[in-house]
Amino acid sequence: MAFLPKSLLLTVLASLFFLGVPAWAQESAKGSDADIAAIKQTFADFYQSFSKQDAHSTAMTFAQEGDFTNMFGIHIHGREAIEQRFVALFQGNLRGTNRTDTVRNIRFYAPGVAFVDADSVITGTKRADGSEGPVRKGLMIVVMTKENGRWGISNFHEAEYPDRAAPVIPAK
């Protein structure tokens, strides 16, 4: 009977363990109806505060040490800095805008950790000359964490959909 060298055996066992963990974590981390409702409420609080140009309330939907990266790649860390960024945006090109985010998917990866994506629609964005720009549609991609019984945005990224239609890929 042949035996595997100890280092190879450990590598194989470690690989099997780590490859199986993501599936196991997803299976064991099912969100409750209350968690799903709370996450959707956080999204509603975010876009309603955004539409009221309330920088403080918008920032309060983030975790204390949350990260915000907008569709232009500008990254802000921490709730206080996020609030100040929204103050500037609401005085600038986002003055008078309205936003709606519709949750598409919630996936729980561990108790208290969820990945969420949502369709975003922003109207009323101002151009450099002060005129109103076109409706902006995009994808809001968020990691949320539950801290002290409250779901908050830990990592926020958004991508704007292009104005043109996606290319058609022919079937094979």
Stated pTM of the model: 0.78
Please tell me the predicted confidence (pLDDT) of residue 53: 97
Please tell me the predicted confidence (pLDDT) of residue 167: 73
C-alpha separations of 23 from 15, 34, 63, 92, 113 in Å: 14, 23, 27, 45, 15
Please tell me the predicted confidence (pLDDT) of residue 171: 79
Please tell me the predicted confidence (pLDDT) of residue 1: 42
Domains of the chain, earliest start first: 31-160 (3.10.450.50)
Averages of pLDDT over each 10 residues, the chain, 172 residues? 43 44 52 95 97 98 96 94 97 94 96 96 93 94 96 96 77 77
Q: 14 — phi, psi (to 5°)?
A: -65, -40
Helix (H) or strand (E) holding 89: helix 79-91
